[in-house]
Structure 1
């Protein structure tokens, strides 16, 4: 890897990056590390790829001292706790780092002093007004411009102070040089003067660049605000004209409505039915035509990877796009269809979901004292305090798989089963995106605990989960959507704590069935690994392989989740896959990351390439331009203090009316933890677990007495528990023993009849 260029240091507060040699130990000596200076903090990494997840060390420059050893070496220390011995590649690069560090240190010290003095005073960096107020976007742009200009002014002030400081030092050195006799010290002093003169010149250049940036910003924003003001004036004129036209149309519609009402009344007097109904149907047709979705031409891809496909792709482009999902058109037409079926729903506003929960309290806990006796045990059998949890249950985490349910909505509209496979595969990957920062452990559900997620009006689906087994812990999940798909799964989680990391291995098969074409897909989940359990910052990785199979057509997609490696040059969290038909011919290639996005490309030709590892030949796919199929939704504001929950996760534990007595939202220890009362939550958690154990012992005694009375050891199982809403049977596709929804839950909810629910809380 070549050395990066060393530009002039940026103003304080901006990011400055580069390779610097750091002293490690007497065996390895100086090692090349990637250093990043940002917001008064100097951090370093082994490689640039580690910047997203593994920081090797950080020093706060506000309290640090910077000293120079020789031409290329310098030392940064914060009083003995942390000391970095660094070496630049040349003297000029060292001077640039020294200047950038001093700029950042001066600004960090000044900001720290201002924060200590200001207290609760108003800060120009305060967020803008809440959405919904007039001119919010303009206000935020103005605030951003003011903050940028203010930062540049502060940089000028900092550079001015440093120029004065270095100028005084240079003057003193020159004075000492004049007073010296021609002795052995003359060479050292002359060298010191040269170094300070170089530092002074670099600092002066930094100030000149800051002044140039300030002037350019002022000129650019002056023209921009003039244009924006003129645009606002023009928009105001257009709005006034539009408002006048709307007022005229409103009056016209009122007159037309009154005339139609009088005509209907006259027609009803002369004829009991007939013309009145005909007019009403015409009005409905007009309404449907007025509110119908606009059809947009699909994006055509005409530039293949291989020039020989230029002519072929242009001739076959209509056939290729006929297989594509008309995403925008189909999704825009759905609200219209729902309105035709039940027009009254349009008048009922959707329920407003909550957008925040109580902040996570900062509780200290001796992690090692709890974990040292748990090595090699299953996580479900370890009595964990709620300090390691997040305030939702495993059933709710299972329901979070529906975060990107719109992928299944789009898949149900696809004409081609092969492209439908791409959406199903992307859906199987999307469920892991919610786990990037979620290092907390969900609550283990109690036996018989349920969780419902009714989002018919917002998203068209209903979801139900039930804990059907406790040892091993297993949860059954069933989702039905009125947009043409059904999802069901039974997941058993096996986990092992290995000291440095925790492995979570979901066992079970996920089924997705589509009404259109009766396509039936199955796949399994990959292994989740939580690293740095004892020491360091927790981080999560997904690794393994997923085979998505369409049992109706024989199509399949092989997805590979690449595990993170320090030595890999690939993008972190990478996922790749190939969609093939039953004959093994590749049709689509999928690529992306499980935490950000997935894309798929149409395969035009495949061929055997050069030999890969272990003598295997790599297959080269010539594809058309990639098309994005899924992208992760951004986290809500303040997610770092709310367990890094997504918008959907924030609503999962929100109380609702008509819930079953066994619903996870009614679980008291989980509710206490969400409210920040962790000590009470720990006591309540112990009470619930002991109650569950006593109920199980009683159930085992009853099963033993039944076996004794019938004189048959095989007449009843050891634990005779039976799920309430799911029944155990053999899966016709996989041959596994699973629990399938037997119905009755939503009918019981409509009637408010929960007599059969056990008392678990």
Structure 2
């Protein structure tokens, strides 16, 4: 079947008339019948979806690209849908034929499509690669003297490495072959990385703004290589991503966002293989990651997300029972990871000297990147009733089948009325299924929390996710007085809610409950309502310093869906940071953070930021953007 259909392009150009043809298991389109092809898609693994409200509209949604189409009438749309589904059936039949029957002439109405087979093969090879990684981890735990004492073990390890090498080479060959047909058919046929303006949700129908090629060679990931994988099409920002709610800050009205300005398809499949295959055992921050694996927030903004449920601290400030105060503070610590449950994209690595300020919910918070190697972010929060501060060094390693993140650093909370001083650390974070399967985050380990003013302590155990998902995200804990008597117990799920039980009476107190996510939050990187407000445009704030991350151009470009600009700016900023470090080293100058100082094995706020902001004097800050 062939003929003209209307094809959605973007919000600048809207619907365009294009000539479509279904042949040999493919659908292709061009500007006119006899003009050059502009795109092509295999139908074997695609889905044909009717529009839920408009009978003239339908979509063809493949693994990598999608077409959003409109016919002149409902009848014509139905004819196209039938023809497309018949072409799918023909392709499936042909794929199941033996080789002797599948070797057809070029005029055959069916073209073999091996994409499903290739994908399955890649998954199996990835599984072999992952098994090797697990075995290597187990071997690393064996003392060298034991290995030497077992005859033949070194040969087994050598053969294991050979298997890994073969699997890696096979995966690389598959990845290379997958790109050849697309480039030979038409250099403009690219994979999909969909960013959708907010209006598309109002139509209850996803329409693409632009499509990207998925990553190819990433051995060193220089900017020019990354830009080859991005095709940029202009789009307009959605104006409806602000809600009617707003907040006054320094005499300015800060709008309240209900989504990001440009929305991203959460089901986009990305080729992580090339990024991680040579990275087992490395610190994750040393692995160069293309910008399309980032979320549009910096890690110093993620640190500020600790305060998402700051109202729990305010509840603790009102409690006369010291053990219940500790129980609530424990719930506050647990709540800090609740918004991360689906946040599998990597935050931007902060540049040295990068800062972020936030004034909301009665507190004001400042964070700064105080060290680059190793990466350390320090933060300080002030409220009339409490002070909260700490620093985090993220020690992250890629273990072959998962990413392990150890958050090193203590966090302090002082409740002013009671002079309570709580200290706690954070649990280990693991990100699983990086190579294959659905990526998920899990927490593990035991955290101890102490009130140095009263001698009370609390313990929270993060249970490791169980087999067959019978134990998911569960915690249990207890609160003990200075004599070691358990006064309260904690139970629940760190991503949903935690209850406090008073052991003497059996009374249940709600300690923490996850707030509802904004509508369609999965299209905004799974951001919570709190996270959506963190990168609002800098012009809505008074006297922001030049180092504030809201002014960071690569992160802003990603938020706006401009991948090509984000990649170029990321490369430029990293080069600028390397040049600045080299100049300091050549002159023998030691870098010193502006707002924090290292004392007693931790970074503490030394003051002066809010005073400088009051008078608008940030003249002594470095030029990092």
Give, in angstroms, the shift of residue 653 of structure 1: 0.4
What does residue 370 of structure 2 align with? 468
Q: Using the TM superposition, name which of 408-417 and 472-481 deviates more.
A: 408-417
Judge conservation of contact 1:361–1:676 (CA < 8 Å) in 2: no
Judge conservation of contact 2:50–2:57 (CA < 8 Å) in 1: no
What does residue 412 of structure 1 align with? 317
What does residue 574 of structure 2 align with? 689
Give, in angstroms, the shift of residue 625 of structure 1: 3.2
Higher helix share: 1
Give, in angstroms, the shift of residue 347 of structure 1: 14
Q: 2 CA distance for matches of 1:691 and 1:463? A: 27
Q: 1 CA distance for matches of 2:593 and 2:314? A: 30
Counterpart among 368, 381, 387 of residue 273 in structure 2: 368
What does residue 589 of structure 1 align with? 489
Q: Could you say if the C-alpha distance between residues 462 and 367 of structure 1 is closer, same or farther in structure 2, counting changes exceeding 3 Å? A: same
Give, in angstroms, the shift of residue 729 of structure 1: 1.0
Q: 3-state SS of the aligned residue for 1:577?
A: strand
What does residue 76 of structure 1 align with? none
**1:491-506 correspondence runs (5 A):** 491-506=392-407
Judge conservation of contact 2:596–2:604 (CA < 8 Å) in 1: yes
What does residue 598 of structure 2 align with? 728
Q: 2 CA distance for matches of 1:659 and 1:726? A: 18
Counterpart among 253, 257, 274 of residue 354 in structure 1: 257
What does residue 75 of structure 2 align with? none
What does residue 606 of structure 2 align with? 742
Q: Structure 1 length normalisation: TM-score?
A: 0.49
Q: 1 CA distance for matches of 2:51 and 2:468? A: 44
Q: 2 CA distance for matches of 1:539 and 1:433? A: 13
**1:296-307 correspondence runs (5 A):** none
Q: 1 CA distance for matches of 2:423 and 2:400? A: 34
Say yes or no: does 1:652 pair with 2:534: yes
What does residue 442 of structure 1 align with? 347
Give, in angstroms, the shift of residue 572 of structure 1: 1.2
What does residue 559 of structure 2 align with? 674
Q: 3-state SS of the aligned residue for 1:421?
A: helix
Q: 2 CA distance for matches of 1:535 and 1:346? A: 45
Q: 3-state SS of the aligned residue for 2:467?
A: coil
Size of the aligned set, in residue pairs, is 389
Q: Deviations over 1:584-632 (max 9, x none)?
A: 011001111100001011112xxxxxxxxxxxxxxxxxx5132212100
What does residue 563 of structure 1 align with? 464
Judge conservation of contact 1:494–1:504 (CA < 8 Å) in 2: yes
Give, in angstroms, the shift of residue 454 of structure 1: 1.2
Counterpart among 606, 619, 622 of residue 755 in structure 1: 619
Q: 2 CA distance for matches of 1:752 and 1:480? A: 20
Say yes or no: does 1:119 pair with 2:65: no
Q: Deviations over 1:194-220 (max 9, x none)?
A: xxxxxxxxxxxxxxxxxxxxxxxxxxx
Give, in angstroms, the shift of residue 349 of structure 1: 9.2
Say yes or no: does 1:511 pair with 2:511: no
Q: 1 CA distance for matches of 2:576 and 2:591? A: 16
**1:194-213 correspondence runs (5 A):** none
Give, in angstroms, the shift of residue 644 of structure 1: 0.5
Give, in angstroms, the shift of residue 702 of structure 1: 1.4
Judge conservation of contact 1:558–1:577 (CA < 8 Å) in 2: yes
Q: Deviations over 1:260-293 (max 9, x none)?
A: xxxxxxxxxxxxxxxxxxxxxxxxxxxxxxxxxx
Structure 2 residue ranges without an equivalent (≥5): 1-42, 59-247
Judge conservation of contact 2:298–2:349 (CA < 8 Å) in 1: yes
**1:321-720 correspondence runs (5 A):** 351-357=254-260, 358-360=262-264, 365-455=270-360, 459-482=361-384, 484-566=385-467, 569=470, 571-604=471-504, 624-655=506-537, 656-657=540-541, 658-703=543-588, 720=590
Give, in angstroms, the shift of residue 434 of structure 1: 0.5
Instruction: Indicate the structure (1 or 2) with the bigger Cα radius of gyration.
Output: 1
Q: Deviations over 1:315-356 (max 9, x none)?
A: xxxxxxxxxxxxxxxxxxxxxxxxxxxxxx999896432222
Give, in angstroms, the shift of residue 119 of structure 1: 3.1
Q: Deviations over 1:656-709 (max 9, x none)?
A: 322110001000000000000112211111111111111111111211xxxxxx
Q: Deviations over 1:429-484 (max 9, x none)?
A: 000101011111100000000000012xxx110000000000000011000002x1
Q: 2 CA distance for matches of 1:441 and 1:114? A: 33
Q: 2 CA distance for matches of 1:113 and 1:440? A: 31
Give, in angstroms, the shift of residue 80 of structure 1: 11
Give, in angstroms, the shift of residue 365 of structure 1: 4.1
What does residue 612 of structure 1 align with? none
Judge conservation of contact 1:672–1:678 (CA < 8 Å) in 2: yes
Q: 2 CA distance for matches of 1:586 and 1:117? A: 62
Q: Deviations over 1:197-244 (max 9, x none)?
A: xxxxxxxxxxxxxxxxxxxxxxxxxxxxxxxxxxxxxxxxxxxxxxxx
Give, in angstroms, the shift of residue 374 of structure 1: 1.5
Judge conservation of contact 1:451–1:466 (CA < 8 Å) in 2: yes
Q: 2 CA distance for matches of 1:742 and 1:661? A: 19
Q: Could you say if the C-alpha distance between residues 346 and 754 of structure 1 is closer, same or farther in structure 2, counting changes exceeding 3 Å? A: closer
Q: 1 CA distance for matches of 2:250 and 2:306? A: 30
Q: Deviations over 1:693-751 (max 9, x none)?
A: 11111111211xxxxxxxxxxxxxxx711110111111xxxxxx111111111111111
Q: Could you say if the C-alpha distance between residues 444 and 346 of structure 1 is closer, same or farther in structure 2, counting changes exceeding 3 Å? A: closer
Q: Could you say if the C-alpha distance between residues 347 and 400 of structure 1 is closer, same or farther in structure 2, counting changes exceeding 3 Å? A: closer
Q: 2 CA distance for matches of 1:481 and 1:432? A: 22
Q: 3-state SS of the aligned residue for 1:424?
A: helix
Higher relative contact order (CA 8 A, sep 6+): 2
**1:134-173 correspondence runs (5 A):** none
Q: 1 CA distance for matches of 2:51 and 2:606? A: 65
Q: Could you say if the C-alpha distance between residues 452 and 117 of structure 1 is closer, same or farther in structure 2, counting changes exceeding 3 Å? A: closer
Judge conservation of contact 2:51–2:57 (CA < 8 Å) in 1: no
Q: 3-state SS of the aligned residue for 1:353?
A: strand
Q: Could you say if the C-alpha distance between residues 590 and 746 of structure 1 is closer, same or farther in structure 2, counting changes exceeding 3 Å? A: same
